[in-house]
Amino acid sequence: MRRPSLGSREPGPFNPRTDSSMTERAAHQPVVAPGLPEPVGPYSPGIAFERLVVVSGQGATDPATGKLAGPDVATQTEQVFRNIRSILEAAGTDLDHVLRCGVFLVDMRDFEAMNGVYARVFGDHRPARTTVQVASLPHVGLRVEIDAIAYRP
């Protein structure tokens, strides 16, 4: 029996003995960068799946001190990108291969300062991005958190 094409409305029959695409499981691997702060919850700093790397939201904790990098959003955004860069490098990629970022700000009035650092960090590279204001973040004084999706070249 032939499987319908992707444009078909009806799904084809599934046979676990002959349909290996449904039974093969691609492995995903946690990505942990040495020296980064421990996550605040039960999650991995990053996950790699084939060439895709998903980085969990990173705050501005300086791994050397265990404290926030500073009180202002520009300093915190710099540290956030250092943390993201560490995770990407541990996964075998870098900021040049980021496809998308999600930016979470406690106060949208910090947008301009965050955006200035963001533009400098990425240069001419322009990943897709969503920026939203949130009620709070999981660390007293934390003003920005950023997550990212990248690929391994």
Does residue 5 lie in a domain region? no
**Whole-prediction pTM:** 0.82
**Domain of residue 117, residue span:** 30-151
Residue 40 has pLDDT above 80, yes or no: no
State how far the Cα of 6 lies from the Cα of 31, in Å rounded to an integer.
34
Number of independent structural domains in the chain? 1
Please tell me the distance from the alpha carbon of residue 55 to that of residue 48, in angstroms, as a whole number: 9
Residue 135, in any domain of the structure: yes
In a domain, 58, yes or no: yes
Q: Do residues 88 and 150 lie in contact, with contact meaning Cβ atoms separated by under 8 Å?
A: yes
Domain presence at residue 51: yes
Q: What is the pLDDT of residue 25?
A: 58
24: in domain: no
The first and second tokens of residue 11, run together, are 């799904």
Q: Which domain CATH number covers 87?
A: 3.30.1330.40
Burial 22-55 (b: 16+ CB within 10 A, else e): eeeeeeeeebebeebbeeeeeebbbbbeeeebbb
In a domain, 18, yes or no: no
In a domain, 2, yes or no: no
For the segment 63-101, what is each residue's pLDDT rounded down to a tens digit? 999 999 999 999 999 999 999 999 999 999 999 999 999
Q: What is the radius of gyration, based on Cα positions, of the chain?
A: 19
Report the first-to-last Cα separation within the chain, whole angstroms. 38
**Residue 1's closest CA among 19, 27, 20?**
19
In-domain check, residue 116 = yes
